Chain A
Amino acid sequence: NAGVTQTPKFRILKIGQSMTLQCTQDMNHNYMYWYRQDPGMGLKLIYYSVGAGITDKGEVPNGYNVSRSTTEDFPLRLELAAPSQTSVYFCASSYGEGVGANVLTFGAGSRLTVL
């Protein structure tokens, strides 16, 4: 059981470049999330999705876009990379309903540096 898989693990971007962080889960979870982790700042929610075709903004959505065309996949797109987007990005998922609804399973993270 792979859980939540994120790629790439590391990436260096130049200012203005674009890229997509991939996230896939094999637990048939309805809810998926993208968080960013800045040093000493904890995790901030970027976007989340409650099911295929449905996405919603979190606390810090500016500069990012997401899509959810399938239950399994929830890619995060950076269109014009800026140094302020240097961070570690975590994808997570949960059932969203019933027992254990709000227990998140996290991926191992993607470290992005924008120079």
Chain B
Amino acid sequence: GNSVTQMEGPVTLSEEAFLTINCTYTATGYPSLFWYVQYPGEGLQLLLKATKADDKGSNKGFEATYRKETTSFHLEKGSVQVSDSAVYFCALDTGRRALTFGSGTRLQVQP
């Protein structure tokens, strides 16, 4: 079946540090890939997406590249801020319209 594996958290960084959150997937066919973010006390919201191999999704300084050869979709940001503290979820969609989510990675950014 389909699955998404994310690095375990929490990830603790100082402000302006470089961020990488790893995500790999197992899926049949050619899934679309997503990163969702959950701020404290809120529901998840879409951060970025990529629909085919080699696509790069980007938003709010975050980016991720769809790597079919390594089945990965790692999230990166060059300089994190305290306001980026949240839980980040990697997800995939194989066309059934119900996403498969990873377990989430908590990011804590310290001033």
Chain A interfacial positions (CB closer than 8 Å to B) = 4, 31, 33, 35, 40-43, 45, 48, 50, 58, 90, 92, 94, 96, 101-109
Contact = CB atoms under 8 A, between A and B. Distances in A.
Q: What's the dominant secondary structure at chain B's contact region? A: strand
Contacts of A109: 42-43
Contacts, number: 50
Q: What's the dominant secondary structure at chain A's contact region? A: strand
Interface of B: 4, 32, 34, 36, 41-46, 49, 89, 93, 97-99, 101-104
A102 B43 contact: no
Contacts of B43: 4, 90, 92, 106-109
B93 A102 contact: yes
A69 B93 CA distance: 26
B97 A106 contact: no
Given A33-B98, A58-B98, A42 B103 contact: yes
